[in-house]
Chains A and B, each alone.
Chain A
Amino acid sequence: MIELTNVSKKYKNGVNALYDVNLKINAGEFVYIIGATGSGKSTLIKLLDGEEIPTKGTVKVVGTNVGKLRHSKVPHYRRNIGVVFQDYRLLESKTVYENVAFALEVISMPKPEIRRRVHEVLNLVGLYDKGKMFPNELSGGQQQRVAIARAIANKPKILIADEPTGNLDPEMSIEIMHLLEKINREEQTTILMVTHDIILVEKRKKRTITLQSGHVVADLTQGGYIRHDNT
């Protein structure tokens, strides 16, 4: 599903973000990516969704060589990937329903299909009765669930969650985790979750990839976090 081979990324301003990263993630996996600020997590996400091109090596996602993708092909490729952010990024002027429908409208899905799918995903995230509400009328956890609903609305093969629990209290975080696990299970979506939350990683063990200064320093299939001497 995702395959990085000898991937290095150096930005134009000289910053080296990733060094010789090799990584393979299979379809249907749920993977944590952890690491301190500046460890290369964001760059990894940008390489996966086609925003950045690797300086060296190849990034292959669902059979597409992302680095070689022409500009005009990027939007269609991106429909394979849903992204959820720490700050939700919802449109304040649109209702919950409209926020989710928006993601489907812009990829030219017919209206009846949009209606059906929006109801389906709002059901999945447990916000079926909140369709007419505006984002600022919802709690943080609910807003994040709207964002997740939007990200999975067009059935992406991969869901990248960038610190989805970063702004939430532990209780809400667990709720979101349950939801992501449910999506992973029910929609067979491969999930990459970037997080700082060591406690969460320890509590709900899954394959964990640790990045440090642009290197993959640990990749534990059994999960958990190894504390290094220098951290």
Chain B
Amino acid sequence: MTILRNFVRHVRDGFISVARHAAMSLSSASAVTLTLLLIAIFLVVSININSATANVESTVNIAAYVDWDFESDSEINDIKSKIENLEGVAHVTFSDKDTELNTVIDSMGSEDTKAVMEEYRGENNPLHDVFIVEVTEGSKIADVTSAIIAIDGIESADYGGDSTLVLMNVLDRVRFGVVILVVSLSALAIFLISNTIKLTIQARVKEIAIMRQVGATNGYIRAPFVIEGMIIGALGALIPIFVTIFGYIWIYQETGGFFLTRMFSLMPPHPTVLYIALILLGIGVFVGLIGSFMSVTKYLRWKR
């Protein structure tokens, strides 16, 4: 009962204080807004990059070509089980050279060329038997490829070249950069809020002194300031939340759900924007809590 009564009182005091220092609250809330807007953009980009990376990774396979001297059934089975036992291998599919040739012939446009290609059926087939290997993680693709090449009876293996790997590397770095930026922007917002709360404290030193004199606990003195900080943080999150929700839905509709190519499909707005909105609100409130808690605690700590 007491806890509830105090809570209501602190929340009321927090709101009153935000309203009383409207200009100050607004200025630090707008700092939070700016920070969260940037975070929102990065979140949208990063979530989509994440799904794009996952897409790219899932489409990248290794083609392992079997040496012509190892084409008997037992040899093929032997090689297949060796590949399957490698670390990082998810799935192995065998395709013999006749099937491969069929694929090639089918892909030819004109009937003339197809007729020419027919010459290579049977003994004259210049192609190799092939294992199509799927990896568990895109990052392991280079290691798995070299391990496959080392197997007896494998002539060569490749995975669509280094460009795939470079792309994945870049995406990884972007992800890392986003994390760093979000963390440092949050730190900036914490600093700004803690400064605002410091000013609020200065405006209420007399009140705090009296509270101490009559025996209010530090937690009781701290509560309205912390709530004020959280309110400022939440206020700052409002604009970024609406911008994200409506902005993302608009972008999704304008682009038809794809960015540049089919490979980079955008995440559908629902429930993505709701998650982002929650994350933004969470960051705003948390940043407000940390910022205000820091400055009140600093103020209260050295006094008995």
Residues of A within 8 A of B (CB): 49-53, 71-72, 74-79, 82-83, 89, 91, 102-103, 105-108, 110-111, 150-151, 153-154
Residues of B with C-beta under 8 A to A102: 210, 214
Cβ of B6 < 8 Å from any Cβ of A? Answer: yes
Q: Mark B207-229, 1 if CB is under 8 A from A, else 0.
A: 10111111111101100000000
Q: Scan residues 230-269 of chain B and give those whose CB is less than 8 A from a CB of chain A.
A: none
Knowing A71-B304, A106-B220, A108-B220, say if A89 contacts B215 (CB, 8 Å).
no
CB contact between A106 and one of B1, B5, B206, B216 (< 8 Å): that residue: B216
CB pairs A–B below 8 angstroms (29 shown): A51-B303, A51-B304, A53-B304, A72-B218, A75-B212, A75-B215, A75-B216, A75-B218, A76-B215, A76-B217, A78-B212, A78-B214, A78-B215, A83-B213, A89-B210, A91-B206, A102-B210, A103-B210, A103-B214, A106-B216, A106-B220, A107-B214, A107-B215, A108-B6, A110-B2, A111-B5, A150-B214, A154-B214, A154-B215
Residues of B within 8 A of A151 (CB): 214
In the complex, are the beta carbons of B210 and A108 less than 8 A apart? Answer: no
A-contacting residues, B187-222, CB 8 Å: 206-207, 209-218, 220-221
Q: Is B9 an interface residue (CB 8 A)?
A: yes
Distance (whole angstroms) from the CB of A231 to the closest CB of chain B: 32
Could you tell me if A89 and B218 are in contact, using CB atoms closer than 8 angstroms? no
Q: Which of A50, A83, A105, A106 has the most CB of B within 10 A?
A: A106
Q: B5 near A75 (CB under 8 angstroms)?
A: no
Picked from B9, B212, B304, the residue with its CB within 8 Å of the CB of A105 is: B9
Which residues in A have their C-beta under 8 angstroms from that of B217? 72, 75-76
The 8 closest A-B pairs by CB, nearest first: A106-B216, A79-B215, A78-B215, A103-B214, A75-B217, A75-B215, A106-B211, A108-B2
Chain B, Cβ-Cβ closest to A82: B214
Q: Is the CB of A50 within 8 A of B304?
A: yes
Smallest beta-carbon distance A160→chain B, Å: 10
Question: Min CB distance, A141 to chain B, in Å?
Answer: 20
Main secondary structure of the interface of B (DSSP, over half): helix
List residues of chain A with CB within 8 A of the CB of B5: 108, 110-111
Taking the closest CB of chain B, its distance from the CB of A116, in whole angstroms, is 16
CB of A113 to closest CB in B, whole Å:
12
Given A106-B221, A150-B214, A154-B215, 20 extra CB contacts under 8 A? A49-B213, A52-B304, A71-B218, A72-B217, A72-B218, A74-B304, A75-B212, A75-B215, A75-B217, A75-B218, A78-B214, A79-B215, A83-B213, A89-B209, A91-B206, A91-B210, A103-B210, A106-B220, A110-B5, A151-B214
How far is A229 from B159 in the complex, measured between Cα atoms in Å? 104
Contacts of B207 in A (CB 8 A): 91
Chain B residues with CB under 8 A of A77: 215
Interface centre among B1, B6, B9, B216, by most A CB within 10 Å? B216
Shortest C-beta distance, A99 to chain B (Å), equals 9
- A108 CA / B220 CA spacing, docked (Å): 9
Complex: A82 Cα to B206 Cα, angstroms: 16
Cα separation A79 to B216 with both chains bound (whole Å): 8
Closest to A153 in B: B214
Query: In the complex, what residues of B have CB within 8 A of residue A150's CB?
Result: 214
Most buried by B among A72, A105, A153: A105
Q: Bound complex: CA of A218 vs CA of B221, how far in Å?
A: 40
Q: Which residues of B contact A103 (CB under 8 A)?
A: 210, 214
Q: Are the C-beta atoms of A106 and B304 separated by less than 8 Å? A: no
Query: B296 to chain A: closest CB distance in Å?
Result: 15
Q: Is the CB of A106 within 8 A of B214?
A: yes
Q: Which of B1, B206, B303, B304 contacts A89 (CB 8 A)?
A: B206
B155 to chain A, nearest CB (A): 75
| Chain B residues with CB under 8 A of A91 | 206-207, 210
Which residue on chain B has the smallest CB distance to residue A90?
Answer: B210
A residues in contact with B215, CB < 8 Å:
75-79, 106-107, 154
Distance in angstroms between the alpha carbons of A142 and B182 in the assembled complex: 56
Q: Given the complex, which residues of B lie within 8 Å of A108, measured CB to CB?
A: 2, 5-6, 220
A154 to chain B, nearest CB (A): 7
CA distance A110 to B303 in the complex (A): 28
Cα distance, A150 to B210, chains bound together (Å)? 10
With A and B bound together, what is the CA distance between A49 and B213 in angstroms? 8
Mark each residue of chain B from 159 to 194: 1 if its CB lies under 8 Å from any CB of chain A, else 0: 000000000000000000000000000000000000
**Shortest distance between the CB of A33 and any CB in chain B (Å):** 19
Q: Measured between alpha carbons, how far is A52 from B302 in the docked complex, in Å?
A: 11
Distance between B77 CB and nearest chain A CB, rounded to angstroms: 73
Q: Which residues of B contact A106 (CB under 8 A)?
A: 211, 214-216, 220-221
Interchain CA distance A106-B219 in the complex, whole Å: 11
Q: Which of B246-304 contact A (CB under 8 A)?
A: 303-304
Q: Which residues of B contact A107 (CB under 8 A)?
A: 214-216
